[in-house]
A and B are shown apart, each in its own frame.
Chain A
Amino acid sequence: MPLVSVPKLTFAQKLKRFFMIDLLKGLGVTLKFNVGALTDKDAVAGKGIYTEQYPKVRPDVAPRFHGAPRLNMDPETHETLCIACNLCALACPEDCIDVIPMDVEVVVAGKPRRKKVLDEFIFDTSRCMFCALCQEACPTYCLELTQDFELATYSRAGFVWNREMLEQGRETVKYEA
């Protein structure tokens, strides 16, 4: 019958076991963390507290993090920067962007002309994989993926963002720090 062979302990190992050196080492480790948590709140040298007080304190996301999309506006005129060129929709690998343009009558140099402007912009965040290819394709720096990460909604329909949501951003509850 095969037996599990346990290697015989050397004398040093026996002494170590008898005086419970490993136990004391473990106690040392936990004490180090306890003292570290009380003295050092900034998680320096791996002994402080790592917990983030999330809704109260906004966590820092990575600088290259891609989150909620946004349609930027001209800061002076507050008109959209989008020229309805449809390049973002073409660049999107997931096909989650719909740009709906419309024609408006404008007078250019005394002559009536038709101009293509943005009517509606549909962005399906449930299909988006946040690759930011649309952001790179945009010639006017209008479409941008921000660092906002709170995208959860109560229904599937809530994932589909229209132009108003993209321009204003979603309403989130802000907590006091």
Chain B
Amino acid sequence: MALLAPLNLIDSLLLKFFSEQTVNYVIWPFIQIGAVVTITALWVAYATYLERKISAFIQARLGPMRVGPWGLLQPIADGLKLLVKEDFIPENADRWVFFVAPYIAVVAAFIVMAVVPFGPDWAVITDVNIGVLFVLAVSSVGVLALILAGWSSNSKYALLGALRSSAQMVSYEVSMGLAIIGALMFARTLSLSGIVASQQSDSIWFFVYQPIGFIIFLISGIAENNRAPFDLAEAESELVAGFHTEYSGFRWSLFFMAEYAAMVVVTAVATTLYLGGWYFPFVYRFTEAKGFHNAYVVVSLIVFLAKAGLLLYLYFWLRWTLPRFRYDQLMDLGWKWLLPASLINIVVTAIAVVVLQGLNESGIHTIDSIAGGLNLTPSGKVIAILFGFGNLLLSAVILSLINWRSRDFNLKKQRRQIRLVDLPKGRAAVKPVSEEPELSKV
């Protein structure tokens, strides 16, 4: 790759001024961080453009067309507009908290990028050995920002939005965290780069072992990001704009950036865990094996971005297809469907791993090695895939059994049932209302 030759030049130039340790552990990470933050900020700007274009196409419209060719400069015009808008602070707002909340949201969303493996070698900022835990922990700090924003605004809409979003995010965090465990049983590591490496050495995407885990992770991820159809936190038709009702100008755009950055995080983690990250068949054989190291990194980077892009399209696609859930339906889905499903997934995956080990010990060769993730032989892969898709059926049966007698929230029906308690048969549940009860007393 002639394009990447300057990289080595910069490296040798830096080594003249600094020690090797400083260059490797301070300067290069700073360059990587700069690149990632810049690209993510640009992505956030152009995600708004993409969202508007895709929504327009879905509705047989054109979308932004005026600023630049096909409206390509629209995000820049929007950004300028937001920068020069008045920074409005409502009366009686908790000023300090009001100022800090958007920054917490942005930082929580952006800091996760530090551990996301965008590619092999130099395309990852840092490889933390508890990467998955780090992602879950930091991204849930975003909830705090929403609560603080809603509380400090001194507005009923903002407060209601914040209450809803905190309840929603807390309940979907559970099933999200549990859904990951199935994939981790195959990867046997919490490092995100390690998870990709284990998929590469097994030459398979965990999606096929964990179809239900992938689905649960995606749904919970969308709910975590407060995106439609789970956008109850900012439900326009009920709460004006939810937790950021009182925000304007640049502070509002920070929330917007946080939302889109959080989307990138969820898609990146989903790609890493279930879609093989930057691993794609044959890429290694045609680049790294022939000595083109930088080409290998760049192609892997493109593969990763393509996979994450597909999942991001799913976000837009769902948003412009589905109407918003009602609040009780949201809680139903989270607690009655996704949580049991993720628990079933854990149990079935554990059984699958135990069965694979047992078969291996009893003579059928199923496990190649267990060092870098659970490397299975072809027969072991078939068994694992069978368990994965059998799990779909099993979960369907168990979930329908769990929810067999569950009903939608119906206040009228509940009231009637409360009245019917302890009433002898044959008597009307409700006393017929006499015509003029007040007059008869007189």
Contacts and interface: CB of A to CB of B under 8 A. Distances in A.
Interface in B48-66: 54, 56-62, 65
Given A30-B320, A30-B321, A31-B317, A37 B57 contact: yes
Contacts of A33: 57-60
Contacts of A29: 321
Interface string A13-57: 010001100010011011101101110000100011111010000
Contacts of A26: 321-322
Contacts of B57: 33-34, 37-38, 49
Q: What DSSP secondary structure best describes chain A's contact surface?
A: helix
Given A3-B413, A33-B57, A51 B62 contact: yes
B62 A53 contact: yes
B24 interface: no
Given A27-B317, A33-B60, A37-B60, A1 B430 contact: yes
A51 B61 contact: yes
B396 interface: yes
14 contacts: A1-B412, A14-B400, A18-B396, A18-B400, A26-B322, A27-B321, A30-B58, A30-B317, A34-B58, A36-B60, A49-B61, A49-B62, A51-B62, A53-B65
Contacts of A19: 396
Interface residues of A, number: 24
A31 B54 CA distance: 10
A49 B318 CA distance: 20
A154 B150 CA distance: 45
Interface of A: 1, 3-4, 14, 18-19, 23, 26-27, 29-31, 33-34, 36-38, 43, 47-51, 53
B402 to A, nearest CB: 12
Contacts of B396: 18-19
B60 A49 contact: yes
B429 interface: yes
B65 A34 contact: no
B61 A23 contact: no
Given A30-B317, A33-B60, A50-B60, 20 more contacts: A1-B416, A1-B430, A3-B413, A19-B396, A23-B321, A23-B322, A27-B317, A27-B321, A31-B317, A33-B57, A47-B60, A48-B60, A49-B60, A49-B61, A49-B62, A50-B61, A51-B56, A51-B62, A53-B62, A53-B65
B42 to A, nearest CB: 23
Contacts of A23: 321-322
Interface in B320-372: 320-322
Given A18-B400, A30-B321, A1 B429 contact: yes
